[in-house]
Amino acid sequence: MVKHLPHLQSSSTQNLPPLESGDRLTRYEFERRYHAMPHLKKAELIEGVVYLPSPLRFEPHAEPHGNLITWLGVYKAMTPGVRMGDNPTVRLDLDNEPQPDAVLLINEVAGGRSRLSEDGYIEGAPELVAEVAASSAAYDLYDKKTVYRRNGVQEYIVWQVLDQKLDWFVLQDEEYILQEPDDGIIQSKVFPGLWLAVLSLLEGDMATVLTVVQKGLRSPEHAAFVEQLKHPSTECDL
């Protein structure tokens, strides 16, 4: 959430029009209006268009979101040099400032592609972005997907809760390639050891989800990745 933007403090926020879905704004104007609405919890600018999500229900969004964060959090806890965020504002480019459900990124000092701005926001593309969508009709699989691909997000996960489906895309030759589970498991190409038991996640079987990711964390590939992150001068195999 954009709540404190020092470079906007000198500009008056009085009498600013409120953000409305469908507004077409520059990123600067989007941030000014967002900053002037402290009650607003989430807003996104996608291709210059403002999106304000509806209130979130528990089963179609909040609970899956929590399970996704749990899975990513276990990986982050065991992988020094990797950071995880829940609903962070991401300044991708002049027309796009999404607030994804979750991001996993490599710390800048460990060779990551994104960085933190002086006022504490992500600038540039996190290595992995995950979104929880109600269905395949959500804009997460259309305009957002295009924006993430164009800005170089290496892996993009979209969990379509009502459709009981999860899509995991990997950026290859500037295109997103859909990954298929191998024996029910998808393994991250960017974060070695980040393994997902897809069907178990869809069914809410978090015990199995966590057992599988812990197996990935014990893999030689994860151990080598952790060593690599300790030496950022080493070329990262992304």
| Burial zone of 126 (CB within 10 Å; 0-12 exposed, 13-18 middle, 19+ buried) | buried
pLDDT tens readout for residues 146-203: 999 999 999 999 999 999 999 999 999 999 999 999 999 999 999 999 999 999 999 9
pTM of the model: 0.88
In the chain, % helix, strand, coil (3-state, to 5) comes to: 30, 25, 45
Give pLDDT, residue 134. 80
Question: What mean pLDDT value characterizes the chain?
Answer: 90
Give pLDDT, residue 101. 96
Q: For the chain, which residues make up each domain, given as ranges?
A: 58-229
| Burial zone of 73 (CB within 10 Å; 0-12 exposed, 13-18 middle, 19+ buried) | middle
Give pLDDT, residue 47. 93
- Decide if pLDDT at 233 tops 80: no
- Decide if pLDDT at 62 tops 80: yes
Structurally, what CATH architecture does the domain formed by 58-229 represent? Alpha-Beta Complex (3.90)
* Residue 138: φ, ψ to 5°: -70, 155
Please give the average per-residue pLDDT across 194-223, as a whole number: 98
Residue appearing with tokens 């199995």:
208
- What residue ranges in the chain does DSSP mark as E strands? 44-46, 49-51, 82-86, 90-91, 102-106, 115-116, 122-123, 128-133, 155-160, 165-172, 175-178, 185-187, 195-197
pLDDT tens readout for residues 16-59: 899 999 999 999 999 999 999 988 889 999 999 999 988 788 98
